[in-house]
Amino acid sequence: MNEILSVDDLVVEYNRDGTKVRAVAGVDLRLEKGEILGLVGESGCGKSTLGKAIVGILGAAEGEVIFDGLPVKKLTRGKRPEHFRNLQMVFQDPYGSLNPRRKIGAQVIDGLVIGGMHRSKALARAQELLATVGLPADALGRFPHQFSGGQRQRIAIARALAASASVLIADEPISALDTSSQAQVSNLLVNLVHELSVGMVFISHDLSIVRRISDRVAVMYLGKIVETGTVEQIWESPAHPYTKALIAAIPHADGRSSMPADLPGDVPNPMSPPSGCRFHPRCPLAMPECAVVEPEFVTLADNRQVACHLQKAGQEPVSLELIPRVPAS
Ligand code: SF4
């Protein structure tokens, strides 16, 4: 099996005004080597929090992250730094993750030396890594402010590779870049994933780019994954009403978006999530049981997973087009 990362029933909580808020409310995910998993959902649904919990920046209240066959919780303190070096996060703002006062070479070499490489070899390897991400060798002697946003993101990726990352959690890595840099950096990430057999969770609000580069997609709503499937399944025949609404929200060629018509209301407050199915107050297909019973995350006959009472484990997905829409009261 090529599985490199799994997340089992992960819960991440924070405290707001004395109330415990579950930003991630029991998430299961799988990632294989050489695979790109797109993670999508509206702003505030918990995508970034989930990413930070996977790489250990945030602690999990419950559940488990298993990386390369090892449950992170069971690692000894001594083993943890090495373990987390292999799980690297690429952030939206690469400038914030680079030290503005240190030359790029020193920052890339750090990861190699910490990983056990002798300094004499690390310089040559750093040059190779910069070439891999499309930067000239003289970049080693320059400071972060001497690069464009797209180049800084390339440096951040080179630094992650210097740490021997086998999983990248890329959190909106191209959303702050101009259009041409977006295409270049996303193509670079796809090539690296496939050539180096790195697994990548690609967190983005841009569904068009997720569709273009991902192998599979996980859809998140209010702290929970509601559907995972291949790009084709998610786009051609979504099995969860939220997935359907999200896909419909992609702007048309004329700039229109059908989101407001298909999905009334705002994302509920995570401090007091709705009972039953968290999506029921906004779901055009909600039934009485949806407000009471939380749907299980089940695997359908076509191998996708979904949490909706309309879909049954082991059966072919029911087309949402055939289900009568319940008028909003
Ligand atoms: Fe809609 Fe009910 Fe399915 Fe939730 S469980 S998505 S409310 S139909």
Q: Give the whole-angstrom CA distance, residue 169 versus residue 167.
A: 7
Overall average pLDDT of the 192-212 stretch? 93
Distance 270 CA to ligand 1 centre (A): 18
Bridge partners of 30, per DSSP, are 6
pLDDT of res. 310 = 97
* Pocket test residue of 226, 246, 279 for ligand 1, highest count of atoms within 8 A of CB: 279
- Specify if 109 maps to a domain: no
What DSSP assignment string belongs to 83-135? Answer: HHHTEEEE-S-HHHHS-TTS-HHHHHHHHHHHTT--HHHHHHHHHHHHHHTT-
- Specify if 221 maps to a domain: no
Bridge partners of 87, per DSSP, are 167
- Specify if 227 maps to a domain: no
Overall average pLDDT of the 101-112 stretch? 92
- Specify if 259 maps to a domain: yes
Distance 175 CA to ligand 1 centre (A): 31
- Specify if 286 maps to a domain: yes
Q: Give the whole-angstrom CA distance, residue 246 versus residue 211.
A: 12
Overall average pLDDT of the 260-286 stretch? 84
| Four-residue CA torsion sign, 251, 257, 259, 265 | positive
| Any atom of ligand 1 within 6 Å of the Cβ of 290 | yes
- What percent of the chain lies above the pLDDT cut of 70? 94
- Specify if 246 maps to a domain: yes
How would residue 83 be classed by pLDDT, with cut points 50, 70 and 90?
A: confident
* CA 130 and chain centroid, separation: 25
Contact in structure between 141 and 105 (CB atoms under 8 Å): yes
List the residue whose alpha carbon is closest to atom 7 of ligand 1.
Answer: 280
Distance 286 CA to ligand 1 centre (A): 5
- Residue 305: give the domain boundaries: 238-329
Classify residue 149 by burial, with Cβ atoms within 10 Å: 0-12, 13-18, 19+.
middle
How many domains are contained in the chain?
Answer: 1
- Specify if 91 maps to a domain: no
Q: What is the mean pLDDT of the chain?
A: 89
Task: Report, in this order, helix, strand and coil percent for the chain, each rounded to 5.
Answer: 35, 20, 40
Cα–Cα distances (Å) from 227 to 2, 85, 216, 234, 235, in that order, read 22, 30, 11, 8, 12
Q: Which residues, in sequence order, are CB contacts of 165 under 8 Å at separation 6+?
A: 85, 86, 87, 88, 198
pLDDT of res. 257 = 41
| Any atom of ligand 1 within 6 Å of the Cβ of 280 | yes
| This prediction's pTM | 0.91
| Any atom of ligand 1 within 6 Å of the Cβ of 312 | no
How would residue 256 be classed by pLDDT, with cut points 50, 70 and 90?
A: very low
Please say if the pLDDT value at position 2 is more than 70: yes
| Any atom of ligand 1 within 6 Å of the Cβ of 285 | yes
| Any atom of ligand 1 within 6 Å of the Cβ of 286 | yes
* Of the candidate ranges 115-124, 198-207, 301-310, the one whose mean pLDDT is the lowest: 115-124
- Specify if 244 maps to a domain: yes
